[in-house]
Amino acid sequence: MSAEIPETFDEWRYCIEQECKIILTRKYIEQRLTILTALDHEETQRFIRLYGDHHWQQVVSWFERALKL
């Protein structure tokens, strides 16, 4: 089992793919990036409130990295 809140790309990817059983398709990644990079989106604002600005930026960078794989 990975950390409760992933701290590295590998932990995050394991959490998404293995624990959450989500396939990181290009379409899924692009959809998440569209939401997470829209600062006025309710889901993005909630994410930042819950996990903080630093973790939000990290997750955005992990989705961007996953898009390049």
Q: Rounded to whole angstroms, how far apart are CA atoms 48 and 56?
A: 6
This prediction has a pTM of 0.91
- Residue ranges in the chain assigned as alpha helix (H): 9-14, 26-36, 42-67
Token pair belonging to 58: 């990290």
What does the domain layout of the chain look like in residue ranges?
Answer: 24-67
- Chain centroid, CA 22 distance in Å: 12
pLDDT category of residue 1 using cuts at 50, 70 and 90:
very low
Mean pLDDT to the nearest integer, 7-36: 97
Backbone angles phi, psi at 35, to 5 degrees: -75, -50
pLDDT (average), residues 12-41? 97
For residues 1 and 12, what is the distance between their CA atoms, to the nearest angstrom? 11
